């Protein structure tokens, strides 16, 4: 299962602070800049869970795989950093099927050129 970095917003923490913390904990990536992406309810008729989406800009180098997560939270996370084209191929093939990640990648596909012009 491939899914985006995710986690709970701690008391007194902003969604942005949580995104930065979780990206460091789960993927060992230090984010240079966060760009707000779509946010909203997963299924308002069923759940009150609210998603805050972000695009994280960071220096990554080549594709890589690693492990992450916190032992005290019993996390066992395998990190996969993919190119945009590879990620979109996995969406098309159905191998990426976690809807938060599908939504973020679809948003990025639509906004990619505009984001490049604005960076």
The confidence score (pLDDT) of residue 28 equals 84
**Which pTM does this prediction carry?**
0.82
Architecture of domain 15-118: Alpha-Beta Complex (3.90)
Q: Active-site residue 63, yes or no?
A: no
pLDDT, position 38: 95
Residue 62 has a pLDDT of: 59
Task: Encode the chain (119 residues) as per-residue pLDDT tens digits.
Answer: 899 999 999 999 999 999 999 999 888 888 999 999 999 998 899 999 999 999 999 887 655 556 655 566 656 677 888 899 999 999 999 999 999 999 999 999 999 999 999 86
Segment (H or E) for 108 = helix 99-118
> What are φ and ψ of residue 27, in 5° steps?
-120, 0
Q: Which of 63, 73, 75, 95 is catalytic?
A: 73
E strand map for 69-111:
77-81
Q: What is the structure's pLDDT at 17?
A: 98
User: Residue 109 to residues 2, 20, 56: CA-CA distances in angstroms?
Assistant: 18, 23, 15
pLDDT of 64 reads 54
């Amino acid at each position: 299962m491939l899914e985006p970095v995710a986690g709970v917003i701690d008391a007194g923490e902003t969604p942005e602070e949580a995104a930065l913390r979780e990206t460091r904990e789960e993927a060992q990536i230090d984010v240079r800049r966060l760009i707000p992406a779509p946010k909203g309810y997963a299924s308002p008729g069923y759940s009150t869970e609210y998603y805050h989406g972000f695009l994280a800009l960071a220096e990554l180098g080549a594709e890589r795989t690693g492990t992450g997560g916190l032992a005290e939270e019993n996390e066992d996370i395998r990190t996969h950093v993919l190119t945009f084209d590879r990620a979109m191929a996995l969406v098309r093939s159905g191998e990426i099927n976690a809807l938060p990640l599908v939504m973020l990648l679809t948003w990025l596909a639509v906004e990619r050129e505009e984001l490049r012009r604005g960076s």
